[in-house]
Structure 1
Amino acid sequence: LFGKLSAYYGTVEEQGRKTLHGHFLVWVDGQLPLHIVRERLMSGDSEFLQELTDYVESAFIGQFMTGSKDEVSARVPQTSEYEDRGIHTILVDKSTIPDGYLDPTLTLPEAPPPEFCNEPEICSCENCLSLLSWWERFKLTVDDILIRSNVHSCYQKRVKKDSSSPGSAEKSKQDKVAKVHFTGKGCLNKDGVCTARFPREVFMKTTVDRETGHINIKKQESSINDVSPTVTAANRCNTDARCLLSGTAVKAVVGYVTDYITKGFLKTHQIFAAMYESFSK
């Protein structure tokens, strides 16, 4: 997918709601030292920049594959948003879902045709036409997953109600606006700034700062992280992937992953609670 690997480093953690979550770093065999990459970018080596750009843009994308976010959102069938209404929350209206439509996050990936020619784009044989048809479905599926799982929406944190404070009734009404997620969790701090750092900066094409050697990879959608389409299609869930082109970024991610690996063990009462829950089922 990214090339022949020389090393990898990662871990899988279990979140509080028992879902698995992975963080991984991979090193590609034959890669240049990052300071050499920076020097060649600063030198104006156009051939090297083009090759690097072609590689990165072939492995990662920062936008949808078949159109804008609004276009994809209009095409993908989705159930209407619901509020936290206790037991009735499970009663989701599916009347807007077309017959025969399958949510890709609930299905397995479709494998590409096993046989095709060297240049399927210009070939009209049955195998190549089958491949091109699969590729169009692949792009639609990736966008379907991205619009469902990867688009970030900012929410306020639910504030505990205080009936004794003046204006609490009005504040309670404001808390029920869609800006408050039904789980009560949110990313906006008290100043209204997104702690997840959205929206991301947009770059309509890949550019390089000749003074610093910093490369801005093409990214046309501000509400999603960079992803690998193949990883998205294979995992059928929220994922993100990006190319780390500085030693600082690599060290930061190594430290981030290490924090998860070295997390303290569960306390005794948590272990027994988990065992009880498991055996009671």
Structure 2
Amino acid sequence: MTTDLLTPIRHTAPVRSAASKVPEVTVYFWIIKVLTTGMGEAASDFLAHVFGPVPAVVLGGVVLVVALVVQFAVRRYVAWIYWTAIVAVSVFGTMAADVLHVGLGVTYAVSAPCFLAVLAAVFALWFRVEGTLSIHSIRTRRREAFYWSAVLATFALGTAAGDLTATIGLGYLGSIALYAAAIAVPAVAHRWIGLNAVTAFWSAYVITRPLGASVADWMAVGTSRGGLGLGLGPVTLSWTLAILGFVGYLAFSRKDVRSGPVA
């Protein structure tokens, strides 16, 4: 990727005039993003335990469709609608990776590269059609469709990657340390080496998934597996409450709403 990703090739009137459908990237964005990844990991496993794998996947799929329909229906970014869709994607993205592994016997070493290829294909098509991968350009239905396709692929990829590192010897704490260090790399590269903002953003975005999921798994699993043994239900509930708190604050303060037009 080059710095050309920062500048859309096509500028149309609807893109200039339409309201943004995504939040401004602030520290709150990254906090909530990590929280949704952990909550999605714990909630997916909790729902599968309570209802069974098949009903849980069906329920997760229905909630995802409804959340995205509402997100596409609104004409501008609305905090609670957007983050509800992200949570739904997080839960279903986890289920997608788990279905391949548990249901079909596909190893994480195979599924992770496959999800990476899917994400690369989404990015390639998105850039070919729209000329940009910048989230500040999400002002048309088509770009929004590309955006949510990429988001879903990042969650599935991150789930597979996090489970892969946890099962090949690193464990949950080792995975947390690995991804905590990895997520700093795009920020450092952007700040001091000149990595363009779009590449840095999407690189960090992918890494938030295995980071948050590893923390949630570590909190939920038993001490015999190297965790705190808090359980899936309490972890799901506590992370959900944290998300509600931050999203409620943003809905009230509007600190994540971009002001002014974006070229």
Same fold (TM over 0.5): no
**TM-score using structure 1 length:** 0.25
**TM-score using structure 2 length:** 0.26
Q: Which has the higher strand share?
A: 1
Q: Which has the higher helix share?
A: 2
Larger C-alpha radius of gyration, 1 or 2?
A: 1
